[in-house]
Amino acid sequence: MTDDTTLPGKLDSETRCQLRRFLRPLLDAAPDWPGLARTLAARGYTLGFRDGRLLVIDAMSGRPICTGSDLDRPLAALARRLGRPRLRATADGHSAALAAR
């Protein structure tokens, strides 16, 4: 279970740069949403969605570490390339996860 009830805090420039170097190529190479989820899972991350934002979540702690915008790959840009993600909303009405196909 993920703690995607909050958005990650503002990242310092060095952390943001390191996350971009490591995670952005994974987002850029993804063929589709399920493929992106599998690639991130293999590296210890999951995807989440909160208030219209894409979140990259640490799978071990369940805490969001950054948004797609922090990686210069906002949800809207990924949706244009990969299509709209199929989401399963949570009870709070603000969060969602990728739906199984």
Which pLDDT tens digit goes with each residue over 62-90?
999 999 999 999 999 999 999 999 999 99
pLDDT at 40: 97
- Answer yes or no: is 62 within a domain: yes
pLDDT at 63: 93
3-state secondary structure (DSSP) of residue 54: strand
- Answer yes or no: is 3 within a domain: no
pTM value is: 0.88
- Answer yes or no: is 6 within a domain: no
- For residue 63, count CB atoms less than 10 angstroms from its CB and return exposed for 0-12, middle for 13-18, buried for 19 or more: middle
Q: Which domain holds residue 35?
A: 13-98
- Answer yes or no: is 1 within a domain: no
* pLDDT over 80 (residue 5): no
Q: Which string of b and e fits 1-36 if b means at least 16 CB within 10 Å?
A: ebebeeebeebeeeeeeebbeebeebbeebeebbeb
pLDDT digits (tens, 9 = 90+) for 12-62: 999 999 999 999 999 999 999 999 999 999 999 999 999 999 999 999 999
3-state secondary structure (DSSP) of residue 47: strand
The structural domain count of the chain equals 1
Spatial contact of 40 and 56, defined as CB atoms under 8 Å apart: yes
- Answer yes or no: is 74 within a domain: yes
- Answer yes or no: is 4 within a domain: no
